[in-house]
Amino acid sequence: MKQETDLRKQKILRLAEETRKKLGMRYTPIEIVKTIHDKEKDRLYIIVGDRPDKTALIGPGGLVAAKLKENLGVKTLTVVSKLDLVVKRRMIKEHIKLLSKTDQPNVEPLKKLCRLELFYPPRRVPQPEKLGQIFVHHCPNNLASEKLAKTLGYKTTGVISPETELNQDGSIYTRKPPITCGECFTSVVCSVKKVGGNLLLANTRNPVFSVEDLLVVNLAKLLWLTREDLHEILGREPPPCWARRASLGMGVGTHLFVRHIIEDVSLGLLEPNQATREIYGLTRCGQACKKA
């Protein structure tokens, strides 16, 4: 097994060097720590030393990684930085400690999901089971989070702020009247409490916190999931959340969303090229709102 892994690492390095040379790129040494082949999903994980190694192996626009996938004959190829894995596991352990500090009964399924994610890669999404009910703050910024909750086995119930309303397609919300994100969230919390809910899924900056007897959780932050992780779990690219949210004109300046995007890049949850696309989409939405 070790010999097979070493041969695979050598092949990957050779193919990467050849591909980068054909693309007119200079030679860059790449440290490959190990490779893991998930035979069930035919996904090859390549764990490299640091983020520069990851950038070099993926290449501009993912060209190097695409060529590697083709030559290695695997369905999917994922490049992961060892440094990002160390940070991910440290953060998840901290989140488990946060969950342990609350005496609410609905934390056990969340702790189970965290423990499973500690063994990534490969990722083992639990078989859909009855993890209980979770209320979802219905807004375009939460579309991927809601699907994530359903995939992990939660029964989701949507709730919207009384100050907002659904469009005919049921996915976009209009302002009635314009309110800030904070005011909208406070209104949603009150609505969930009125119906006796104790678990709310929201796209908050904190992974988990309590509002009296209501536990608010951001599953993506709790499990420290990158955009690639969400793509792997959900099977498609999540919607460009900041751009869609800004298009609603929620009373928050564009600079705030840009700051969130940059923070995600610094935390390793978002790649620079992905951030560029989101900021570009955000500015286009902002221009459209001004013209409207």
CA–CA separation, 43 and 59 (whole Å) = 19
In the predicted structure, residue 136 carries a pLDDT above the cut 80: yes
Mean pLDDT lowest among 32-46, 88-102, 201-215: 201-215
State pLDDT tens for residues 205-251.
889 988 888 899 989 899 999 888 888 888 765 544 544 454 444 44
- Averaged pLDDT, 92-113: 90
Whole-number pLDDT of residue 140: 56
Whether the CB-CB separation of 204 and 178 falls below 8 Å is answered with: no
| Gyration radius of the chain's alpha carbons | 21
pTM, full prediction: 0.81
CB 50 within 8 A of CB 83: yes
The label of the residue with tokens 């992780």 reads 229
pLDDT tens digit sequence for 158-180: 887 665 555 544 444 555 555 56
Mean pLDDT along residues 284-292: 49
Give mean pLDDT, residues 58-87: 91
Mean pLDDT, rounded, for 94-105: 89
Is the pLDDT at 143 greater than 70? The verdict is no
Q: Give the pLDDT of residue 237.
A: 52
Q: Is the pLDDT of residue 77 over 90?
A: yes
46-57: b or e for each residue (b if 16 or more CB lie within 10 Å)?
Answer: bbbeeeebbbbb
Write the DSSP symbol of residue 107: H
